[in-house]
Amino acid sequence: MFPGIPMLNYDVVVIGGGPAGMAAAARAKELGLNVLLLDENDYLGGILPQCIHPGFGLHYFREELTGPEFAARLAKRLVELGVEYRTAARVMEIRNYSDLEKVVIFTSPSGAYQAWAKAVIYAAGARERHAFEIGIVGDRVAGVYTAGEAQTLMDIYGVLPGKEIVIVGSGDVGLIMARRFALEGAKVKAVIELMPYPGGLARNVMILRDFDIPLYLSHKVVEVRGKGRVERVKVVKVDENLNEIPGSEFWIEADALIISAGLVPSVKKLTAIGVEIDPSTGGPVVNDRLETSVPGVFAAGNALLINDLVDYVAEQGELAAEGAKEFIENGGIESRKWIRVEKGENVRLLAPHRLSGERDVYLYLRVARPMEDVELRIPEVGKRVKLSLATPAEMLRVKLKAEEIRDAEKLTVEVVRE
Amino acid sequence: MKTKVAIIGAGISGASIARVLSRYENLEVHLIEKAPDVGWGVSKANTALIHGGYDDDPERYPMRAKLCIRGNRLWHQWVKELEIPHIWNGALIVATKDDDFDELEKLLERGRKNGVPEMRLVDREELFHLEPNLTPEAIGALWVPIVGQIGPIPAVIAITENAVANGVKTHLETEVTGIKVENGEVKGVETNNGFIEADIVINAAGLYADRIARMAGIDYFEIHPRKGEYWLFDEGLPGPRRVLFPTPTPISKGIVVTTEVSGHLMIGPNAQDLPPEEKEDLSTTREGLEEVWEGAKKLWPQLPPRSKVIRTFAGLRPEPTGGDFIIKAEEEVGGFINVAGIRSPGLTSAPAIAHEVAGIIERDLGVKLVEKEKWNPYRKEISHLFMMSPEGVNEAVKRNPSYGKVVCRCNNVSEGDVLEAIERMKFIGVKTPSVDSVKFRTKATTGTCQGSFCRPKIVMLLAREYGVEPWKVTLKGRGSEIGVGDVKALLRGDA
Ligand SMILES: Cc1cc2nc3c(=O)[nH]c(=O)nc-3n(C[C@H](O)[C@H](O)[C@H](O)COP(=O)(O)OP(=O)(O)OC[C@H]3O[C@@H](n4cnc5c(N)ncnc54)[C@H](O)[C@@H]3O)c2cc1C
Ligand SMILES: Cc1cc2nc3c(=O)[nH]c(=O)nc-3n(C[C@H](O)[C@H](O)[C@H](O)COP(=O)(O)OP(=O)(O)OC[C@H]3O[C@@H](n4cnc5c(N)ncnc54)[C@H](O)[C@@H]3O)c2cc1C
């Protein structure tokens, strides 16, 4: 198909060497598949090597690890299993040659290749929203970084991006970066949060108290000014409808503005082959094998939906590998029917979207508003799960057993007061 | 003996002049620029159109009217010789009310007078054939097929590289602070890097051309900035195939909707006059951006959602007293040539401005220009991974494996591309490593993620190739350093 470039053959090609991709590749190999794992970075691990704080792996390894430790464990497993992987290998294009054959074109320091596979697992992670996307105006100066970029600069390359910091967003990533800066002796002048409640887990919100960092809820950063570097940022208060309150503006002097305003699944290579996207997750629509709308193309990790726990990411990788195995063996993922899963009251997003009812499945979902003492309900099958707290910051994961849902036509998931 | 020429300002005007003058055996050409790299003044932020030359009234603005159409014709040749990114996609000036046709008729008439070929009015049916997603309010348009778009900074870079290859000397990060005039003749320019001797001084200083002129004692004009703001959207969103203008009003050509050379939908600019001293105010404003949004919607109702915006930016037009380009040898000061007030359509006119200046040197300053036996009109663009076929990549990695390694994932820029860019930066004398210098040569950092993945990698490559510490690499020159030190600098107390 691409004369002149070397052709490789596999059962599965896994795109992305973060925790989702590594777990997928390892599981695929365990299941006896011939697998190739590709990542564009010089190292495996995705964003984990830059997350030098603890908080990873409690479910998956039953031990609290740092990001690099978590990545190293998965990498060790890959090596022990003899999984073939390539780093500095960027997938340029996926081609859906037929329902049963895919071609993955990648480039690397040893050249471009066409890797043919029966199934593809897409685990390319996410990108961060940046300053322009959230409507910040003013000067285009140095010192405006996304949290991940600042983290890469500090923890991969040893560069300190600034010493007087304002952080946009109080999600876990923003809070962890606040601590990271404080630990390096920088002054974190404020964390600015648009919503009336913090976006991160309670234990991470504690960081602000520990380091005496002011949190401005119901505020947003609207403007950055400076000559070469950031000099000051303009903050404004918003009302309950998120509209700006005139006259409430004030300036904070700072030399860096860190944007931690959420992640967006990286799906361009999927949309290019016509994979259906769920606007609420930003990732693909998938069935309970994590197969997308294009047969034989699976998705896992942050490319599927934004996860806060790496453990779930790895779990999704394994699930996708199991799906690939089934796909290859049966020439497709079979189901007598697909049960649609729909968002009900207070559910902002969820995946998977279609269930066979023939196997147990984990549902991953996020609520729209924080609420205490709630119940997750699926009225069609009379399912109820009590939850002491549900916040948008924390992804909920519920197990549905095949026998519980088998007879349903559709499931509506809601999170409501008891 | 050679005649020494000092050109102040390496924008599109100064660079083009340098290229045209590099053709002559008996000139020694110095191109002087205060910024760390070329093309970072007015030439950096504009609509990037090669205009059709139909809207400048030859009675009121004779220079603009004459040079715009000539410039357009020359660009058709220059983009090929210099491998500058471009597209000749034509423009539609859209009418939405019956009265608009009076204005379009006037433009057609004026275009004919200015010598613009192949313009004509199109009716509603043909209009929607040319541009199906235009506002349903559209009732007809003026169709100008010679209009095109280029990469403006890539153009300045290409022209400068070619000029340097033909013997021009650049002086970057060199700010002209005075002009030495003796007995009514220029002798050279004072700079922060010492005195540069010159027999001819050409003032192509963009927004600061009034200040430079005053250094030579010429003060009959003033330049004030007129701000224009833009929105740029992510790739892959449907935009027009042609450049779309509204029917102009007496004050403005109006807000353009276009798909720029790299394939991104772009809207802008508005026009806001700033006081003369605010020549550095390139900040975007919410009011300005809203005005652009509303204006663009009138032509292109299906603007993408705001979440698809990847960048907003502003540019400053150098508006001169009188409104026309001021291009002439000043009689009171021998050897001093003004190329001032180069407002829109200055980008379009630049090659013609350059030839005009060569003419002035010969005609008004009496320097007989002698052509070089060997002058190289060509310049090769650097490699771009995004333009290579897979086989091409395999050829390139044989030369250097770094061509297979992607640095910028949004735009498929390889490490090899970046290294070539750095080589070219050094070739024209860029001394301070900056991410923007790499960005304008490779397109890295300009995609969907706006550099959050690749900027650190580029910083490390610049640090290595320039032999500086990574935190001292800049975004866009001194004062815009990427960091404040290594991660332990604050704890040690040395940042
Ligand atoms: C600051 C921060 C703090 C965090 N803290 C915690 C925590 O305390 N606990 C926790 O459990 N989780 C935490 N997380 C979340 C967790 O790290 C992520 O959920 C997880 O890493 C996502 O894994 P992934 O494999 O889906 O994606 P990634 O780790 O992003 O990996 C995707 C990989 O795919 C590669 N790739 C993309 N496109 C291509 C292509 N075309 N070709 C080749 N390769 C490609 C990328 O380069 C990348 O290496 C944190 C995240 C951040 C940013
Ligand atoms: C919003 C906007 C939209 C536009 N759209 C278009 C368009 O679509 N088509 C078109 O044809 N034109 C357009 N223009 C006009 C066009 O951009 C300008 O006419 C052109 O770029 C001017 O180039 P220049 O070289 O004269 O000035 P500049 O690019 O500003 O170059 C002057 C240089 O001089 C340097 N300098 C200044 N003072 C000193 C000093 N003391 N010492 C050393 N160096 C100095 C500056 O740093 C600068 O690099 C637009 C302009 C704007 C602002």
Q: Which ipTM value was assigned to this complex? A: 0.96
Q: How remote is the CA of residue A396 from the centroid of ligand 1, in Å?
A: 19
Residues A376 and A365: their CA atoms lie apart, in Å, by 10
Burial call B325-334: b when 16+ CB within 10 Å, e when fewer: bbbbbbeebb
**Which pLDDT tens digit goes with each residue over A372-404?**
999 999 999 999 999 988 988 889 999 999 999
Q: How far is A2 from chain B (nearest CA, A)?
A: 8
Residue of B nearest to A181 (CA): B487
- With pLDDT > 70 as the criterion, what percentage of chain A qualifies? 100
Annotated catalytic residue B129: no
Digit-coded pLDDT (tens) for B343-379: 999 999 999 999 999 999 999 999 999 999 999 999 9
CA distance A293 to A288: 12
Please answer yes or no on whether A4 and B394 come within 8 Å at the CB atom.
Answer: yes
> Considering the entire predicted model, what is its pTM?
0.96
* Residue A316 Cα: closest atom of ligand 1: 26
Which are the contacts of B148, defined by CB distance < 8 A and separation ≥ 6?
B49, B50, B72, B75, B86, B87, B88, B89, B90
Is a pLDDT exceeding 90 seen at residue B132? yes
pLDDT for position A169: 98
Exposure on the CB side of residue B445, measured as CA atoms within 13 A: 20
What pLDDT score does B296 carry? Answer: 97
Q: What are phi and psi of B434, to 5 degrees?
A: -140, 145
Residues A226-282 have pLDDT tens digits of 999 999 999 999 999 999 999 999 999 999 999 999 999 999 999 999 999 999 999
Backbone φ, ψ for residue B354 (5° rounding): -60, -45
| pLDDT computed for residue A13 by the predictor | 98
- Tell me the average pLDDT of chain B: 96
Q: What's the average model confidence in pLDDT over B470-480? A: 98
Return the higher-pLDDT residue of B249 and A173.
A173
Q: How far apart are CA A216 and CA A306, in angstroms?
A: 25
Side-by-side strand order, sheet with A250-253: A137-138, A219-225, A232-237, A250-253
Q: Quote the pLDDT of residue A94.
A: 97
Ligand closest to Cα of A265 equals 1
Per-residue model confidence (pLDDT) at position B1: 85
Q: CB–CB of B413/B427 below 8 Å? A: no
Do residues B325 and B347 lie in contact, with contact meaning Cβ atoms separated by under 8 Å?
Answer: no
Residue B316 Cα to ligand 2 midpoint, Å, equals 8
Ligand 1 atom closest to the CA of A263, numbered from 1: 53
pLDDT at B250: 74
B288-327 tens-digit pLDDT: 999 999 999 999 999 999 989 999 999 999 999 999 999 9
Give residue B252's pLDDT: 76
Cβ(A387)–Cβ(A374) below 8 Å: yes
Supply the residue whose CA is at minimum distance from atom 30 of ligand 1: A125
Question: Is the pLDDT reported for residue B251 higher than 90?
Answer: no
**Minimum-distance CB partner of B393 among A111, A137, A156:** A111
Q: B397 is written with which tokens?
A: 């990695």
CA of A15 to the centre of ligand 1 (A): 13
pLDDT of the residue at B374: 95
Q: Per-residue pLDDT averaged across A346-368, rounded?
A: 96
Query: Using 50, 70 and 90 to split pLDDT, how confident is the model at B9?
Result: very high
DSSP state of B403: G
Task: Give the residue whose CA is nearest to atom 31 of ligand 2.
Answer: B11
**Do B487 and A158 make contact, defined as CB atoms within 8 angstroms?**
yes
Closest chain A CA to residue B435: A142
| Per-residue model confidence (pLDDT) at position B334 | 97
What pLDDT score does B253 carry?
83
Binary contact (B481, A88; C-beta < 8 A): no
Nearest CB neighbour to A128, from listed B286, B385, B452: B452
Q: Among B385, B405, B409, which residue has the most ligand 1 atoms within 8 Å of its CB, making it the best to mutate? A: B409
DSSP states along A128-193: E--TTTTT-EE---BTEEEHHHHHHHHHTT-EE--SEEEEE--SHHHHHHHHHHHHTT-EEEEEE-
Sorting pLDDT into bands at 50, 70 and 90, what band is B117?
confident
Ligand 2 centroid – CA B157 distance (Å): 14
Q: Residue B454's pLDDT is what? A: 97
